[in-house]
């Protein structure tokens, strides 16, 4: 699977950026953990939409918004999913029977 078929290579920098932002939000302890993915999604959408408007020469505004929204959801999803995989691998105790 080629990741570039789904996420624009220029926006891949948003994934570690969102992971860092998520860690900062979690460390503040002012926001409940269940809201962090939603916040990262909103930040990802804003970031990708802003990038699309700035870098795109496409005068079609609805298209730029849709591309930004889709890319933002994808990079936020990748950040949250990647973080969860890392946490699951790092967890020493496994609740599965037989392991």
**Which domain does 19 fall in, by range?**
11-86
Residue 3 lies in a domain: no
95 found inside a domain: no
> Considering the domain boundaries, does residue 5 fall inside one?
no
What was the pLDDT predicted at 84? 86
User: What are the pLDDT digits (tens) for 25-84?
Assistant: 999 989 999 999 999 999 999 999 999 888 877 678 888 899 999 999 999 999 999 888
> Does residue 43 fall inside a structural domain?
yes
Q: Is residue 93 part of a domain?
A: no
* CA distance readout (Å), 95 to 33, 85, 86, 99: 21, 16, 17, 8
H/E stretch holding 61 reads: helix 61-90
Q: How many domains does the chain have?
A: 1
3 falls in which pLDDT band (50, 70, 90)?
low
**In a domain? residue 99:** no
Q: Is residue 32 part of a domain?
A: yes
Q: How confident is the model at residue 88 (pLDDT cuts 50, 70, 90)?
A: confident
Asked if residue 2 is part of any domain, the answer here is no
């Amino acid at each position: 699977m080629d990741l570039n078929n789904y996420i624009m290579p220029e926006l891949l920098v948003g994934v570690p950026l969102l992971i860092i932002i998520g860690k900062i939000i979690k460390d503040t302890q002012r926001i409940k953990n269940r809201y962090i993915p939603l916040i990262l999604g909103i930040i990802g959408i804003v970031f990708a939409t802003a990038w699309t408007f700035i870098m795109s020469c496409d005068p079609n505004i609805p298209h730029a918004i849709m591309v930004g929204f889709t890319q933002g959801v994808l990079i936020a999803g990748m950040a949250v999913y990647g973080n969860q995989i890392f946490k699951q691998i790092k967890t020493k105790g496994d609740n599965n029977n037989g392991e």
